[in-house]
Amino acid sequence: GTMKLAGGGLKVQRFKFDRRFDPESSPGGAADLLFDLVTSEEFSHSLELGLGVTPESWTQLEVEKLSATVLNMGFFDPLESEGLLAPNGFLRKCMNDRVHGVDIDTLVTDMLLNEESEHAHIYGEAQRNEFLFRLFQLLFIGGAMHQRDEDVLAYLEQTKLLYKDLMTVHKRSATGKVEITSRVYAVRPTATGRCTALFPGTVELSHCYIIVDAAKKLATAVHMPYKGFW
User: pLDDT tens digit string along 64-91?
Assistant: 999 999 999 999 999 999 999 998 889 9
Mean pLDDT score, 136-160? 89
> Of 25, 46, 40, which is closest to residue 214 (Cα–Cα)?
25
User: Which of the 8 DSSP states describes residue 92?
Assistant: P
In this prediction, residues 160-185 reach a mean pLDDT of: 94
**CB atoms closer than 10 angstroms to residue 125:** 6
Contact, 162 vs 28, CB < 8 A? no
Phi–psi pair at 70, nearest 5 degrees: -75, 130
Whole-number pLDDT of residue 173? 87
